[in-house]
């Protein structure tokens, strides 16, 4: 089954806006478009809600994924103009199966709880709740919404390490690298030259995405905090996977 949920994290918005909607296309190698994503952010001075729906397109993608459908929801509060996650939920359905994963964040006790439930033909087959071994204020969506504030200098080469709820299963680690000049040239050739104010990075999620070992993506982000393009490179069978803002 295609792990579209982990590609989906690059659907980013302008964090200080009250109502933003963004559409993305996911493309595989020479196959072309295999999925669409529609995402929406609603926020005010106190709270925010992020809601994104992922759906596969085309007969091949639908057959491979059993007509996969996903929805990702993040809810939380605002603190110093940052989005702070209180709850992150992933809902999936494919073939006979439906599942939901809910991450609940207790900021006072600095703990994260993961509750996973799965149904087959409407009958529950898994119901498991565990306390995770890490704590984070960001989830996989809010991390990138907050990047413009997390990373002040977007030109100087440096490795940043973040904790994101829903990322690496052991410790939530996500690495974001601002590139050296030699690597930057290579990434620009891959992603295309951006407009004024756009910046580049690589993102490592420390988990296997398709046949990549580390889940490393090249990312071009616009000056307003929205990803224009991201690429997961050189995968066996698939070729590059591209996430493109529409």
Average pLDDT, the chain: 84
Q: What is the pLDDT of residues 190-240, one digit of tens each?
A: 888 777 888 999 888 776 555 455 667 888 888 777 778 888 765 544 567
**For residues 4-23, average pLDDT:** 57
**For residues 240-245, average pLDDT:** 79
Residue 17 has pLDDT above 50, yes or no: no
**For residues 79-94, average pLDDT:** 94
Q: Which of 3, 2, 25 is nearest to 229 (CA)?
A: 25
pLDDT score recorded for residue 213: 57
Least confident stretch, 18-22, 138-142, 204-208 = 204-208
Query: β-strands 138-139, 111-120: how paired?
Result: unpaired
119-128, 145-154, 183-192 — which one is most confidently predicted on average?
119-128
Contact of 73 with 88, CB cutoff 8 Å: yes
Q: What is the pTM of this model?
A: 0.86
């Amino acid at each position: 089954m295609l792990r579209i949920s982990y590609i989906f994290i690059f659907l980013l918005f302008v964090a200080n806006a009250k109502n933003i909607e963004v559409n993305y296309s996911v493309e595989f190698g020479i196959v072309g478009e295999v999925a669409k994503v529609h995402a929406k952010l609603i926020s005010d001075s106190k709270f925010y809600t992020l809601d994104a729906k992922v759906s596969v397109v085309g007969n091949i993608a639908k057959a491979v994924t059993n007509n996969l459908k996903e929805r990702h929801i993040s809810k939380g509060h605002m603190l110093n103009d940052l989005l702070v996650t209180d709850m992150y939920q992933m809902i999936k359905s494919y073939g006979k199966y439906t599942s939901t994963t809910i991450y609940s964040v207790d900021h006072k006790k600095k703990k994260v709880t993961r509750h996973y439930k799965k149904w087959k033909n409407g009958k529950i087959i898994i119901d498991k709740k565990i306390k995770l071994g890490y704590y984070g204020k960001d989830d996989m969506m809010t991390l990138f919404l907050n990047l413009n504030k997390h990373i002040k200098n977007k030109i100087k080469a440096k490795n940043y390490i973040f904790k994101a709820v829903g990322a690496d299963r052991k410790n939530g680690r996500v690495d974001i690298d601002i590139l050296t000049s030699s690597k930057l040239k290579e990434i620009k050739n891959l992603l295309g030259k951006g407009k004024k104010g756009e910046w580049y990075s690589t993102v490592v999620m420390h988990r296997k995405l398709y046949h990549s070992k580390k889940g490393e993506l090249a990312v071009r982000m616009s000056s307003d905090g929205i990803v224009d393009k991201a690429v997961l490179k050189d995968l066996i069978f698939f070729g590059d996977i591209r996430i493109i803002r529409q």
